Structure 1
Amino acid sequence: MTLNERMRRVWEIFSIYLPILLMGLLALGTWWLVRNAPKPLEQPQQRAVSHEPDYYMRDFSIKSFDATGRLQSEIQGETLKHFMDTDTLEILKARMRSISPDGRVTLSTANRALSNSDGTEVQLFGDAVVTREEFKKTGAKPVPPMQFKGEFLHVWPNEERVKSHLPVTLTRGPDQFTGDAMDFDNYSQVLNMRGDVKGKMQPSRVTSTLTPAPRNNRP
């Protein structure tokens, strides 16, 4: 067998096994790349949001106004804490003042208050008092002041609702009512008191005009 025939024979054998060798080299290179490639960064575990304040204020006063610049409400207190997980405000020694569009003023005080972020729902704890001041409107009969007192009051200022599952004392003008629980809706003018309910109503004052008897003049 000549040299050329041997070389051609070797080339034919090499040609048959070349694809297998190339596939083996490709698989080996892929394995090496996978082994030495940088590992993907582990996704950080999401931390559970704890009930911790993310900011606070001391001896603060917050006022809110409507689009026309009218004062709507004012909140004051010793300390304020905001909790991000519930988006609520906790206020110590809370003093709140709200003014309705028609000018009615409502004052609220408590040792501690818990409010949502926009102040549309407020819970008052410890020596809670909500007072609606006397309201006088031109051409209408004055509305007497109204006051709610208890250890807990749940207030919706915009809806003009006050609710409590604990004993409450309600005073309206000279009249006073007490009960173990209460639900008051000013819009519907419905007061629902439950439990040992007691009331004390003062009689309305009747003003009469007395005409003196004519004097018997003798000549």
Structure 2
Amino acid sequence: MNRFLYDAWDRALLYLPIAIMGVLALGTYWLVRSTPVQDVAQAERVRGHEPDYFMHGFSIKTFDTAGHMRSEVQGDVARHYPDTQWLEIDGIRIRSFDAQGRLTTATALRGLTNEGGSEVQLIGNAVVVREADATAAKTTPRMEYRGEFLHAFMDTEQVKSHKPVELLRGKDRFTADAMEFDNVDQVMQLRGRVRGTLVPENK
């Protein structure tokens, strides 16, 4: 009897590692089946167009290779969106200098700008001003653009809008339903209902 118990115990010890491995394998299989699989596409969809950081009462400046300031963007609150790499800014205020040091300013209730500040969309009470330039051979008058939407390209000195705008050039005034202006080529396109008031220069 003792011999029988000894042989049975010996066989049990022999197969015990196999039994333990079987139990572990079954446990691992159960864990894999029970653990929910993360849906990567769903995670990306949930994240979507969401800001990854905020800024309050901020100022962002960019400089050229010589150390001269090219642009400064200020605002009350900014939200950065990683999917587009754009900033959405409440109470946006911009100062931009071209290669000749001429100043252009822009303000609006809300704005969208790329990281370099070279492209800006101004929304709500938008105003873009290019100050007069008396250093050129012919004095360039002060230019002011007003509208509910203005799309300004600071590097190429272009301002566009598909909504009604008002343009003040010195003492002259123009209104239109849409506008495209290229300051480098001095070409303006006004579309829709266009009206203008020209004031002769004093001699």
TM bucket by the smaller chain? Answer: 0.7 to 0.9
Task: Please name the residue that 1:72 is paired with.
Answer: 70
Cα separation, 2, equivalents of 1:111 and 1:64: 22
Q: Which has the higher helix share?
A: 2
For residue 157 of structure 2, what is the amino acid of its counterpart?
A: E
TM-score relative to the length of structure 1: 0.74
1:42 to partner: Cα distance: 8.1
Other-structure match for 1:171: 168
The code of the aligned residue for 2:39 comes to Q
1:38-89 Cα offsets, whole Å, 9 max, x none, are: 5679874322132111111111111111111101000111111101121110
Tell me how far apart the structure 2 counterparts of residues 152 and 59 of structure 1 sit (CA, whole Å).
23
Q: Displacement, 1:171?
A: 0.6
Q: Tell me, yes or no, if the aligned pair for 2:79 and 2:87 is still in contact at 8 Å.
A: yes
Number of the residue aligned with 2:3: none
Specify whether residues 43 and 116 from structure 1 end up closer, same or farther in structure 2 by C-alpha distance, changes over 3 A only: farther
CA distance in 2, matches of 1:101, 1:188: 16
Corresponding residue of 2:152? 155
Distance 1:179 1:52 in 2: 36
Deviation at 1:157, TM superposition (A): 0.7
Work out the CA distance in 2 between the residues paired with 1:57 and 1:147: 29
Q: Deviations over 1:113-155 (max 9, x none)?
A: 01122222211000000000011216x2221100000000011
State the distance in 1 between where 2:162 and 2:183 align.
18
Question: Does 2:88 match 1:94?
Answer: no
Larger Rg: 1
TM-score by length of structure 2 reads: 0.79
CA distance in 2, matches of 1:93, 1:141: 35
The Cα of 1:182 is off from its aligned counterpart by 0.6
SS in 2 for 1:94: strand
Q: Deviations over 1:22-49 (max 9, x none)?
A: xxxxxxxxxx7xx659567987432213
2:105 maps to which residue? 107
Q: Which residue of 1 aligns with 2:14?
A: none
Code of the residue aligned with 2:150 in structure 1: it is L
Match of 1:127 in 2: 125
Q: Distance in 1 between matches of 2:181 and 2:71?
A: 21
Given residue 194 of structure 1, which amino acid in structure 2 is its aligned partner?
R
Q: CA deviation at 1:174?
A: 0.8
Alignment size in residue pairs: 176
Q: Is the 8 A contact 2:73 2:117 kept in 1?
A: no
- What corresponds to 1:180 in structure 2? 177
Distance 1:135 1:103 in 2: 10
State, as a whole percentage, how many aligned pairs show the same letter.
47
Q: CA RMSD in A?
A: 2.2
Question: Matches of 1:163 and 1:43 in 2, distance apart?
Answer: 49
2:140 is matched with: 143
1:4 is matched with which residue?
Answer: none
